[in-house]
Structure 1
Amino acid sequence: MFKQVGPPLFIDIKKEILNQFLVLSLTFCLIGFLIHLVYANFSSIFKEKMLAGNNFSKLNKVSGCIFFLLAVLLITQ
């Protein structure tokens, strides 16, 4: 379906491969780090909002209802 005749289009075979590999690897690592940083930030914000008031008990009730419905669906199949 997808034929690859040569190296990927973003690799220039006339230039040194090691430098291109390092740039691609560092870019991949940086993007992964930034994504995990955003996840950690959102989870911190979510934790603060859940601990305020009775939001956690609402979440427990909703998740309990979902598990109960899943159990009923599993039994009926």
Structure 2
Amino acid sequence: MFVVGALAPKFVVGALAPKFVVGALAPKFVVGALAPKFVVGALAPKLVVGALAPKLVVGALAPKLVVGALAP
């Protein structure tokens, strides 16, 4: 009984260890799982700008193109 009592804390810690480890790593797992969303969210403006860039360029050049077409 004394031996069991003396070792009990170790057994309890050993049994709970996985939970503690998971609890300690949980934030990392959550961040890892959400990382793609954060990355996409952070890049979204650039992707949108990249997708619209041709239109913006055409819009910016439109006056010149019109002038060039009417020049003759």
Instruction: Output the TM-score relative to the length of structure 1.
Output: 0.41
Ranked by relative contact order (alpha carbons within 8 Å, sequence separation 6 or more), the top structure is: 1
Please identify which structure carries the higher helix content.
Answer: 2
Instruction: Output the TM-score relative to the length of structure 2.
Output: 0.43
Question: Who wins on radius of gyration, i.e. which is larger?
Answer: 2
